[in-house]
Structure 1
Amino acid sequence: MNAAPADQIRLLDVQALDQRLSQLAHRRKSLPEHAEIESLTADLAQLRDLLVASTTEESDTAREQTKAEQDVDQVRQRAARDQQRLDSGAVTSPKDLESLQREITSLAKRQGDLEDVVLEVMERRESAQERVAELTDRVAAVQAKVDDATARRDAATQELDTEAASVTKEREVVAGSVPADLLKLYDKLRVQQGGVGAARLYQRRCEGCRLELNITEINDVKAASPDTVLRCENCRRILVRTADSGL
């Protein structure tokens, strides 16, 4: 393949722009905010799970407290009715009086036991409420950090995307001035060779593979026409001659 020396040198400009685009893409992918957001999001998910569990516990203890208080009320009302019967003098049989007094005593003990249950449930509910409040604050704090990191990531991404768009337009202009067949070969090699399809020959060294040409290769390069599109014998990239090639 043949191409004017100026076209071959422009190919190095295309290569430089492609490398810049690759660097921008790598920076975009490697923004520290990505890892920060991932870590914070994992923490947030765990805290939300804990919050759901604590909220469920608080709800369960609230129902348990209501049930225990209702049990106390039922015993208290029954005891009040029995006491009213006792005080009214309606019960005159000694046996019935004794039975009624035993029941009032039993109900008093039952009420005391149930009130202890209510207190124990209230303590557990208060503890659950405190836990819910604590986790709610922690979720809000971590969410704020996620929002901040997301905003920083989006700003950095926007800046990189803007620069990439500018470089892409410049690449289109420069690539448009390179012969189509030469550009096609370059693009093919760039895919095959890890993003570098053309390399400068600098001081007898290929800047693609960083290997110095041997004397035979140097003589072949010297003998080649300036229009000949050369390939590095080692890495097979397009080898572009410049004033600094050391020939």
Structure 2
Amino acid sequence: MNAAPADQIRLLDVQGLDVRLSQLAHKRRTLPEHAELDTLTADHTQLRDLLVASQTEESDTAREQTKAEQDVDQVRQRAARDQKRLDSGAVTSPKDLENLQHEIASLARRQSDLEDVVLEVMERREAAQERATELTGRVESLQSKISDATARRDAAVEEIDNEIATVTKERAVIAGTIPADLLKLYDKLREQQGGVGAARLYQRRCDGCRQELAITELNEVRSAPADTVVRCENCRRILVRTPESGL
């Protein structure tokens, strides 16, 4: 393949822009905010699960407390009725009086036991409420950090994307001045060779693979016409000659 030396030099310009685009793409993928958001989001999800569990526990104990208080109230009402009967003098049979007094005493013990249950449930409910309040604060704090990290990430991505757009336009302008067959070969080699399709021959060394050319290869390059597109024998990339090639 033949191409004017100026076209080959411009190929190095395209290569430089392609390297920059690769660097920008890598920078975009590896922004520290990505890892930060992954960590924050995982922590947020875990805390949200704990918060839901605490809220569920608080709700369950609230219902349990209501039921226990209703049980106490029922026993209290029944005891009040029995005490009223006892105080009214309507019960005159000694056996009935004994039974009624025994029932009142039993209800008093039952009421005391149920009130202890209410207190125990109230303590558990209060603990669940405190835990939910604490977790709510932590979730809100994490959400604030997530919002901040998201804003920083979006700003960084926007800045990178703007630079990518600028470099892409510049590449398109320069690539448009390079013969299509040369550019096609370059793009093919760039895909095969890890993003580098053309390399400068500098001080008898290929800038692509960093290998110094053998004397026979150097002689071939020296003797090749200026418009000949030469290739590195080692990496097969397009080898662009410049005044600094050491030929």
Same fold (TM over 0.5): yes
Deviation at residue 125 of structure 1 after TM alignment = 0.2
For the pair 1:207 / 2:202, whether they are aligned, the reply is no
1:158 maps to: 158
Code of the residue aligned with 1:160 in structure 2: it is: I
Code of the residue aligned with 1:196 in structure 2: it is: V
Measured against aligned partners, the alpha-carbon deviations of 1:60-108 in whole angstroms (never above 9, x if no partner) come to 1000000000000000000000000001111111110010000000000
Structural mapping, 1:57-72, within 5 Å: 57-72=57-72
1:50 maps to: 50
Provide the rounded CA distance (Å) in 1 between the counterparts of 2:219 and 2:94. Answer: 134
Provide the rounded CA distance (Å) in 2 between the counterparts of 1:232 and 1:163. Answer: 32
Provide the rounded CA distance (Å) in 2 between the counterparts of 1:177 and 1:221. Answer: 25
Provide the rounded CA distance (Å) in 2 between the counterparts of 1:201 and 1:162. Answer: 32
Measured against aligned partners, the alpha-carbon deviations of 1:24-77 in whole angstroms (never above 9, x if no partner) come to 000000100000000000000000000011111001100000000000000000
Structural mapping, 1:113-152, within 5 Å: 113-152=113-152
1:13 maps to: 13
Deviation at residue 23 of structure 1 after TM alignment = 0.5
Provide the rounded CA distance (Å) in 2 between the counterparts of 1:146 and 1:178. Answer: 47
Measured against aligned partners, the alpha-carbon deviations of 1:120-169 in whole angstroms (never above 9, x if no partner) come to 00000000000000000000001111110010000000000000000000
Provide the rounded CA distance (Å) in 1 between the counterparts of 2:215 and 2:232. Answer: 14
Provide the rounded CA distance (Å) in 2 between the counterparts of 1:242 and 1:229. Answer: 13
Q: SS where residue 184 of structure 2 aligns? A: helix
Structure 1 consecutive aligned stretches of length 4 or more whose deviation exceeds 2 Å:
none
Provide the rounded CA distance (Å) in 1 between the counterparts of 2:233 and 2:153. Answer: 44
Q: SS where residue 92 of structure 1 aligns? A: coil
2:23 maps to: 23
Q: SS where residue 240 of structure 1 aligns? A: strand
Q: CA RMSD in A?
A: 0.4
How many residue pairs match? The answer is: 247
**Structure 1 length normalisation: TM-score?**
1.00
Provide the rounded CA distance (Å) in 2 between the counterparts of 1:13 and 1:217. Answer: 25
Structural mapping, 1:83-94, within 5 Å: 83-94=83-94
Provide the rounded CA distance (Å) in 2 between the counterparts of 1:103 and 1:50. Answer: 46
Provide the rounded CA distance (Å) in 1 between the counterparts of 2:21 and 2:202. Answer: 23
1:77 maps to: 77
Deviation at residue 194 of structure 1 after TM alignment = 0.1
Q: SS where residue 81 of structure 1 aligns? A: helix
Deviation at residue 18 of structure 1 after TM alignment = 0.3
Deviation at residue 219 of structure 1 after TM alignment = 0.2
Q: Give ranges in structure 1 of 5+ residues lacking alignment.
A: none
Q: Give ranges in structure 2 of 5+ residues lacking alignment.
A: none
Provide the rounded CA distance (Å) in 2 between the counterparts of 1:244 and 1:223. Answer: 17
Q: SS where residue 199 of structure 2 aligns? A: strand
Provide the rounded CA distance (Å) in 1 between the counterparts of 2:230 and 2:142. Answer: 58
Provide the rounded CA distance (Å) in 1 between the counterparts of 2:81 and 2:73. Answer: 12
Q: SS where residue 239 of structure 1 aligns? A: strand
Deviation at residue 207 of structure 1 after TM alignment = 0.0
Provide the rounded CA distance (Å) in 1 between the counterparts of 2:178 and 2:14. Answer: 9
Provide the rounded CA distance (Å) in 2 between the counterparts of 1:4 and 1:106. Answer: 111
Deviation at residue 244 of structure 1 after TM alignment = 0.3
Code of the residue aligned with 1:209 in structure 2: it is: C
2:177 maps to: 177
**Structure 2 length normalisation: TM-score?**
1.00
Percent identical pairs in the alignment equals 80
